[in-house]
Structure 1
């Protein structure tokens, strides 16, 4: 978008979906709901639109963007799929899984989307509103999380507007994000290896059941979103594994540790994942200058939760 102006609020109905598709087709930026977090969507085939995404987010241009597609056929026009990619797509798409794959020759994708890398990150989302927009727009959409870069990821339209109101064309309200954590990112390497680049709702054991043992991540290059060390920050110092908070700390509780606000009073990891960013938003908005977080078990979905918390605390 050009000069700063009011961001349209669109309902997640037929009229809102049609308006979002119209704005996207014309090169606009629209925050859209997915089952993970809200994404800031724009045409992945236009350099100017991708630049506008970076400008709105204040995001470094070495951090690639995930491209969202409606189905595997659309994905195969953009990246090189092998039998492994097709197997995990058949199992986990539509859903919270992003694959990093070799860029297809002649793929109509702006170079800024891949940050100049020979690979690209692809996802087929499950949220019905996002899928309806993808179908109507008929475009691959680059869509990083709809927030200022480094801030807490948004799980509601209200969170989007907290940092992007006036910076984007519209937000399409599809309710609260179901999963509340960004997608799992897996990179499939030439020669048969694979790596888990970002923990998420789909755990490594489920992927290993199809792909075999993973290869450790050793390279320092950034080739997928969420690999920057400081990410998901509430803008205040964060202390982890806390049972008794200090007087100047807003305590995010879990299970028996009640805190000022609890990720899950019952200790349910799925509930904690869905409420994580809401909790960090509350901590950011509180008058207390510091944040503390109760211990969260580092197993299953807890690994993905703790990954985000460690980045928030870095």
Structure 2
């Protein structure tokens, strides 16, 4: 089937799907639920059992993980996986990550595991690390791997997620539980905002602890580690296990960081489908291959307004350039937004934008990661049409934060000098 036609079909299915009501399960304790596996004793086992039954019967369920909320389906059931693509409006050549509850389930899915991959699993599973491994033929729906001979697998570090997967008795394919292209959900309310009425149910387990998706890596035959998507496990953490000089960031850094125009789309002319989270996909070819992992090919994580990332030689230069652009945008009739860090607030004039949001301190990238997607959604709530975000250092977790900002901005980087 032609890929563009398939995308249109998915979009139609999402808008006119048979699901009319999304079941909402609020777990008995949504505070600090991801701290230890013992926390599972405080949640409603009946709700998890109902959600697991929905998965077994071919339904879709959004559930909490330590990274973001995932939209789960039985990875072996093509109809269920199609429902995930339909609900999200997701390009069909964008592979899904398969979540398992225990290491014992891995042998059923993959044919071999490199010793370095084993070492990474021992160090960071359960946790925000996805490993791309050789797929065992015939065990999963071909939609999960987008026709590739590999599959991304991880064990989430969240007791509710693992309890749900274990109770369902199936490997769970789960991208983020949002419309494709939109900021990922870190709260159940974000899921309902995007997908209510289009999915079977939502398990509310409180706020995600990490706030960014998992790091996706592939171990090469020589033992080197390719980062396909930066995330909750940093390059430095990977190197601590695989060895110095063995981690390759090339694929993860394959974004266009060339400075671009600071001019937004004119008010009222933005593509309505793109604003609704649907982004056009082109068929996979030799020149335009299917991505090896989620987050590598398409615009992701984007607010509805135009977004640019401002970088420069000093925080003052960044603030001056951003303030000037925001003022010009306001005069042009834009509703403006500014995403910045606490240390730089004093560098801006009073009320530099209609909506100003801080990611916290540069000294706490963990806080910035947890706050990022909720901050981008806040601009939507404010109706912002022109948004500027400060760049951040690309060391440690900052590499993943900057990756998400640049993907959300479609690669638009504004050089402040």
Name the TM tier (shorter chain).
over 0.9
Query: What is the aligned partner in structure 2 of residue 240 from structure 1?
Result: 309
- 1:94-127 CA-partner distances (Å, limit 9, x unpaired): 0000000111244x21111000100000010011
Query: What is the aligned partner in structure 2 of residue 170 from structure 1?
Result: 201
1:1-314 map, 5 Å: 3-12=18-27, 13-79=44-110, 80-106=112-138, 108-212=139-243, 213-215=246-248, 216-217=250-251, 221=289, 222-241=291-310, 242-243=318-319, 244-245=322-323, 246=326, 247=330, 248-258=335-345, 260-265=356-361, 267-314=363-410
User: In 2, are the aligned partners of 1:296 and 1:302 still within 8 Å (CA)?
Assistant: yes
User: 1:284 and 1:68, CA in 2 relative to 1: closer, same or farther beyond 3 A?
Assistant: same
| Helix, strand or coil at the partner of 1:240 | strand
RMSD: 1.8
**Bigger CA drift: 119-128 or 215-224?**
215-224
Structure 2 runs not aligned, ≥5 long: 1-13, 28-43, 255-286, 311-317, 346-354, 411-417
Structure 1 runs not aligned, ≥5 long: none
User: 1:263 and 1:14, CA in 2 relative to 1: closer, same or farther beyond 3 A?
Assistant: same
Give the Cα separation in 1 of the matches to 2:222 and 2:398: 31
Give the Cα separation in 1 of the matches to 2:163 and 2:141: 23
- 1:30-84 CA-partner distances (Å, limit 9, x unpaired): 0000000000000000111111110011001100000000121111220122322
Higher-Rg structure is 2
| Helix, strand or coil at the partner of 1:131 | helix
After superposing on structure 2, the runs of 4+ consecutive aligned residues of structure 1 that deviate more than 4 Å are: none
1:300 shift after superposition: 1.1
TM-score, normalised by the number of residues in structure 2: 0.72
User: In 1, are the aligned partners of 2:114 and 2:221 still within 8 Å (CA)?
Assistant: no
| Helix, strand or coil at the partner of 2:342 | coil
1:257 shift after superposition: 2.9
1:292 shift after superposition: 1.3
TM-score, normalised by the number of residues in structure 1: 0.94
